[in-house]
Copies of this chain bind each other. A is one copy, B any other.
Amino acid sequence: MAKSETARSPRTPRKTSSASSAPPRPARRPAAKAETPYHHGALREALLQAAEQVLERDGLSGLTLRAVAREAGVSHAAPTHHFGDLTGLLSELAAVGFRQFNAAMASSCDAATTPMERALARPKAYVAYAQAHPGMYGIMFRTERLDYSRSSLHEAAEASFAGLANAIGMMRQEQISGDALTLNQGAAIARAWSMVHGFTMLLLDGRLEDILGRLPEGTTTERLLEAMLTAPITGKLPCP
């Protein structure tokens, strides 16, 4: 009881997680010794997967270095060797998230057929990813503890931005050159990103439920998103 730390009995059969997710142990080069060797063989990846599971199960506040180590069945100091830091782990996990995110955005466009569908595919995929992986999205966009000097994170996040800028360029039927932007181009990018990101943050924080609850019966979040993105803008003089 005194040491509740090493609860999973060191060096004993590690739980192969829940059930249907990832091969139990990649077993690096040799024929696979199969019985929990001292050296894990692919701990880094295993820790990242464990971190994702902990994040989805226990939320952001439950995502600690020690919890991840427990989940992976290794000693609590093992993650430090691979990521150096909690910041390191979070950053690498965020990089994983950005790659998932980018993939989801890219594949969403393939399924679109009509012009309207194509126009809404990206923002819908954006919000859908955040709803499906709220913890991951939180890590990616909410945490101040990220180290963007890590190339993996920097590149994955950069790719995300490039995809957005590219989509806006398509929409405006202009070529967006990598180095310079007009004010209108910048404004268009900022508007698209701000609108979708803001919507997502407010949605995840539950701050849109106030609005959703007052809309006509049965109006879905997706419908509100559509309306927000497509409805005409009217009016003036906002100050009371």
A residues in contact (CB < 8 Å) with B: 59-61, 109, 112, 115, 118-119, 121-122, 138, 141-142, 144-145, 161, 166-168, 170-173, 179-184, 186-191, 193-199, 201-202, 205, 207-208, 210-212, 214-216, 219, 223-224, 227-228, 231, 233-240
CA–CA, A234 and B172, complex, Å: 6
Q: How far is the CA of A115 from the CA of B228 in the complex (A)?
A: 24
Contact of A109 among B142, B198, B240 (CB under 8 A): B240
- Which of the residues B181, B187, B223, B237 comes within 8 Å of A115, measured between beta carbons? B237
Number of copies: 2
Q: In the complex, what distance in Å separates the CA atom of A189 from the CA atom of B198?
A: 12
Known: A141-B205, A186-B212. 7 other contacts (CB 8 A): A170-B240, A184-B231, A187-B231, A189-B211, A190-B211, A191-B233, A194-B197
A228 and B180 within 8 A (CB): no
Q: State whether A194 and B187 are in contact (beta carbons under 8 Å apart), knowing that A167-B240, A210-B161 are contacts in the complex.
A: no
A233 vs chain B, min Cβ distance (A): 8
Q: Main SS of the interface on chain A?
A: helix
Q: Are A199 and B210 in contact (CB under 8 A)?
A: no
